[in-house]
Amino acid sequence: MIDPLFKNWHANAAALKKYGFVNGKWSTTLMPDFTLRVAVLGDTVSCTVFDEAAQAPYTLFLQPSATGAFVAKVRATVIATLTDMRDACFTQGSVYHQAQTLELIDKIAQVYDLTPEFLWAKFPTNAVFRRTDSKKWFAAILTVQPDRINRTGKKPLEILDLRMADPLQVDGINYLPGYHMNKKSWFTVVLDGAVSTEQLMTLMATSYQLAAK
């Protein structure tokens, strides 16, 4: 019920904070004795309806087979409340344009069950991926002007930052010094297909392990 509401919508950290989210969590009175609790992690939204009188979660509305006027009212109110929150705090559609960027995001979702976190309102096309245990970043997708990474042209580039185990990996051609990161620990790849997505996922696996510490 929740996933279709937020498919292809991206959270805006500043908008969530303005809406009342604290550390990715927000709650509101749904109806007398019922509270809706919402959590946002990256672009992933989860929610719980809590029955204050019973002091327990109310889950019947999540069951498609559940019928009855009260269940229908709870379900409709949850959807309406989440839709209002989504429209105020999320933007629709991908902020990226390169085919490899979109493919990479899809691969990360499949392998790591993670979506990009857009943390900066002033930089809506910059996102990070972090481990759920250590909370450390293992990848970042950024949009930069070519001259910022010693490339020519005027069209913004979509780049990937990864942690590296071997500084010799940086060759100045396909593997660049980490943009906006510690250059001793990170490297950058332009997402233009020069390095295959398969190779990037192999490198990402190393980055993911390095972020465990």
Given phi > 0 = left and psi -120 to 50 = alpha, else beta, which region is 152? beta
pLDDT tens-digit profile of 124-164? 889 999 999 999 999 999 999 999 998 999 899 999 999 99
**Angle CA(21)–CA(24)–CA(29) in degrees, nearest 5?**
50
Per-residue confidence (pLDDT) for residue 174, from 0 to 100: 92
Give the pTM: 0.63
Dihedral of CA atoms 11, 15, 18, 19 in degrees, nearest 10, equals: -60
Per-residue confidence (pLDDT) for residue 202, from 0 to 100: 96
Per-residue confidence (pLDDT) for residue 196, from 0 to 100: 94
β-sheet with 176-177: strand ranges across: 127-130, 137-144, 157-163, 186-190, 176-177
**Burial class of residue 152 (count of CB atoms within 10 Å of its CB; 0-12, 13-18, 19+):** exposed
Per-residue confidence (pLDDT) for residue 130, from 0 to 100: 94
| Tens-digit pLDDT string for the chain (213 aa) | 788 888 878 888 888 999 999 999 999 999 999 999 999 987 889 999 999 999 999 999 999 888 889 999 999 999 999 999 999 998 877 788 899 999 999 899 899 988 888 888 788 889 999 999 999 999 999 999 999 998 999 899 999 999 998 887 899 899 999 998 998 999 999 999 999 999 999 999 999 999 997
